[in-house]
């Protein structure tokens, strides 16, 4: 549409192009500009490969860390089993009552096995283990209660289920106190959380640096085409028309950078897997690293493309508008 001369037919209207064709042509033009941007990159392969490699390798580190955390989670899931609940019984129970209680517990479906450590055995063990032998001899009566070691059934070993079992056992008349030792599990969880948080912070920093690097490369591209941009503005090109090829350059950086990230992550995991296998063989277990799944690879690729696009967008927003014809 002509802005200054309303009656003037011009451009696409003059050659009578239908709305549908114009819609199609918009995408055809976009495709042409995308291919033209690719051609530009191929013409200066060294400079563009450097940027793509930086983008790809920057994403490799977070991707590899992600794989490591994911595998640690898998290992953790195997270990996250509460194997034992300790019941301290009331001291006024007779041996007969304890035996009945033990029998009753071992019949419960939630419990696999119950081991009874009677108070005298407990004291003997304690005397040997602690080295307080003589001091204990001076006691007039045994201060220790009878203890039952309860092994939950296989389906009751997850932390939550074990916790519930613990609560119900605590309510038994015979039980003075019940303990579930999951402190080490919590420590392990906290450690994984620490790694996960560190990985997230690192990933965010690297993503930010990718955006800045791509932005800077695109900025250099823009300033090397300053004259061309000025001429385009003089003959009536809108900012978005001028920006589009640069945005496509950013997308191409992302596409190739994402492929580089796949490759480098795969190589790094293959290399780490050797070390992990060696360690796990020492522990006589069969464990090997799980690489990226197809979905995760797609997410990584989209992330690379998104970062490339974001970097170029940041650059064109600022620098294309700043170039004014003189």
Partner 1 sequence: MIKFEQVSKTYPGGFQALNQVSFHVEPGEMVFLTGHSGAGKSTLLKLISMMEMPTAGRVMINGHDLRKIGRREIPYARRDIGMIFQDHRLLLDKTILDNVALPLLIEGYSMQEARKRVSAALEKVGLGDKLRHYPMMLSGGEQQRVGIARAIVNKPPLLLADEPTGNLDPKLSLEIIRLFEDFNRLGTSVLIATHDLGLISRLRYRTLSLKDGRMINDGLAEN
Question: Applying CB under 8 A, which residues contact partner 1?
Answer: 1-5, 8, 10-12, 15, 17, 22, 25-26, 28-29, 227-228, 230-239, 241, 324-326
Residue 169, token pair as written in the block: 């056992």
Count Cα neighbours of 238 within 13 Å in the Cβ-side half-sphere. Answer: 3
In terms of Cα–Cα distance, which of 102, 82, 112, 84 is closest to 146?
A: 102
Residue 19, token pair as written in the block: 């709305």
Shortest Å, Cβ 11 to partner 1: 4
Shortest Å, Cβ 231 to partner 1: 5
- In the bound state with partner 1, the residue whose beta carbon lies nearer, of 33 and 86, is 33
Instruction: Kindly report the three-state secondary structure assignment for every residue of the chain.
Output: CCCCCCCCCCHHHHCCCCHHHHHHHHHHHHHHHHHHHHHHHHHCHHHHHHHHHHHHHHHHHHHHHHHHHHHHHHHHHHHCCCCCEEEEECCCCCHHHHHHHHHHHHHCCCEEEEEEECHHHHHHHHHHHHCCHHHHHCCCCCCCCCEEEEEECHHHCCHHHHHHHHHHHHCCCCEEEEEECCHHHHHHHHHHHHHHHHHHHHHHHHHHHHHHHHHHHHHHHHHHCHHHHHHHHHCCCCHHHHHHHHHHHHHHHHHHHHHHHHHHHHHHHHHHHHHHHHHHHHCCCCCCCCCCCHHHHHHHHHHHHHHHHHHHHHHHHHHHHHCCCC
Shortest Å, Cβ 61 to partner 1: 39
- In the bound state with partner 1, the residue whose beta carbon lies nearer, of 109 and 322, is 322
Shortest Å, Cβ 235 to partner 1: 4
- In the bound state with partner 1, the residue whose beta carbon lies nearer, of 208 and 234, is 234
- In the bound state with partner 1, the residue whose beta carbon lies nearer, of 10 and 168, is 10
Shortest Å, Cβ 29 to partner 1: 8
How far is it, in rounded angstroms, from Cα 98 to Cα 148?
A: 9
Shortest Å, Cβ 189 to partner 1: 54
Shortest Å, Cβ 259 to partner 1: 29
- In the bound state with partner 1, the residue whose beta carbon lies nearer, of 29 and 91, is 29
- In the bound state with partner 1, the residue whose beta carbon lies nearer, of 5 and 46, is 5
Shortest Å, Cβ 236 to partner 1: 4
- In the bound state with partner 1, the residue whose beta carbon lies nearer, of 24 and 194, is 24
- In the bound state with partner 1, the residue whose beta carbon lies nearer, of 34 and 272, is 34
Q: Are 241 and 232 in contact (CB under 8 A)?
A: yes
Shortest Å, Cβ 233 to partner 1: 7
- In the bound state with partner 1, the residue whose beta carbon lies nearer, of 35 and 205, is 35
How far is it, in rounded angstroms, from Cα 246 to Cα 7?
A: 35
């Amino acid at each position: 549409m002509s802005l200054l001369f309303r009656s003037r037919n011009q451009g696409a209207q003059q050659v009578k192009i239908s709305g549908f064709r114009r819609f199609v042509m918009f995408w055809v033009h976009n495709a042409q500009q995308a291919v033209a941007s690719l051609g530009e990159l191929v013409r200066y392969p060294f400079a563009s490969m450097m940027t793509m490699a930086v983008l790809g390798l920057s994403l490799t580190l977070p991707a590899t860390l992600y794989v490591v955390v994911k595998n640690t989670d898998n290992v953790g899931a195997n270990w996250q089993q509460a194997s034992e609940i300790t019941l301290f019984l009331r001291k006024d129970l007779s041996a007969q009552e304890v035996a009945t209680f033990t029998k009753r517990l071992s019949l419960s479906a939630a419990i696999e096995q119950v081991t009874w450590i009677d108070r005298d055995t407990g004291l003997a063990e304690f005397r040997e283990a602690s080295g307080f032998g003589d001091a204990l001899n001076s006691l007039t009566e045994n201060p220790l209660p009878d203890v039952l070691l309860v092994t939950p059934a296989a389906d009751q070993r997850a932390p939550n289920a074990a916790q519930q079992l613990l609560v119900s056992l605590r309510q038994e008349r015979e039980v003075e106190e019940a303990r579930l030792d999951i402190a080490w599990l919590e420590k392990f969880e906290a450690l994984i959380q620490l790694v996960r948080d560190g990985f997230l912070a690192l990933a965010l920093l690297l993503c930010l640096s990718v955006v800045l690097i791509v932005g800077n490369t695109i900025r250099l591209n823009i300033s090397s085409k300053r004259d061309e941009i000025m001429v385009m503005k003089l003959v009536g090109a809108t900012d978005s028309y001028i920006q589009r090829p640069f945005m496509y350059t950013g997308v191409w950086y992302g596409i190739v950078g994402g492929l580089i990230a796949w490759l480098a992550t795969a190589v790094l995991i293959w290399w780490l897997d050797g070390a992990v296998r060696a360690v796990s063989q020492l522990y006589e277990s069969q464990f090997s690293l799980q690489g990226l799944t197809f979905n995760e690879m797609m997410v990584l690729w989209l992330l690379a493309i998104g970062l490339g696009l974001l970097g170029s967008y940041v650059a064109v927003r600022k620098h294309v508008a700043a170039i004014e014809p003189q």
